[in-house]
């Protein structure tokens, strides 16, 4: 009976040591989210916004695609050998009553291994979109 109790205490002790040892280590990667610029463009059309959004995403992340017919454009960064991407962004074009549009930028990056933070990605998107922050 004493042997079983000692064995259980030893297993519990090793388990707690491993749990607290692992929990005390810093995370290897963090998910970085950023809500970027929000711009109002009164003299443009939503189709202009769509074109700019697609081009900006291709320039920064290498690809783009519209989600349905929503004027929301999304992209992911380059993929590694396992097929994983560590950066993503969305550009959304909202039509305004009376003409024009509002454009928003939202970005995410897993750092590391993504080379840029989410805020850098959003800043690059805004620059490629039209230089407005």
User: Tens-of-pLDDT digits for all 133 residues of the chain?
Assistant: 555 444 444 444 444 444 555 555 565 768 999 999 899 999 999 999 999 999 999 999 998 999 999 999 999 998 888 888 999 999 999 999 999 999 999 999 998 888 899 999 999 999 999 854 4
Using CA atoms, how far apart are residues 93 and 52, in angstroms rounded to an integer? 10
Number of domains in the chain: 1
Whether 112 is covered by a domain: the verdict is: yes
Structural domain of residue 123, as residue ranges? 30-130
Sign of CA dihedral 30, 89, 34, 130: positive
In-domain check, residue 107: yes
Residue at 92 is within a domain: yes
In a domain, 4, yes or no: no
Decide if 7 is inside a domain. Answer: no
Residue 72 is part of a domain; what is its CATH number? 3.30.310
């Amino acid at each position: 009976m004493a042997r079983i109790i000692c064995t259980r205490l030893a297993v519990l002790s090793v388990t707690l040591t491993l749990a607290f040892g692992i929990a005390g280590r810093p995370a290897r990667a963090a998910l970085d989210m950023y809500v970027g610029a929000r711009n109002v463009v009164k003299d443009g059309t939503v189709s202009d916004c769509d074109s700019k959004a697609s081009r900006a995403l291709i320039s920064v992340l290498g690809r783009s695609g519209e989600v349905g017919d929503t004027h929301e454009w999304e992209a992911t960064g380059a993929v590694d050998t396992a097929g994983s991407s560590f950066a993503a962004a969305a550009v959304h074009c909202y039509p305004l009553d009376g003409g024009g549009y509002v454009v928003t930028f939202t970005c995410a990056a897993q750092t590391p291994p993504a080379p840029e933070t989410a805020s850098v990605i959003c800043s690059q998107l805004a620059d490629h979109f039209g230089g407005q922050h």
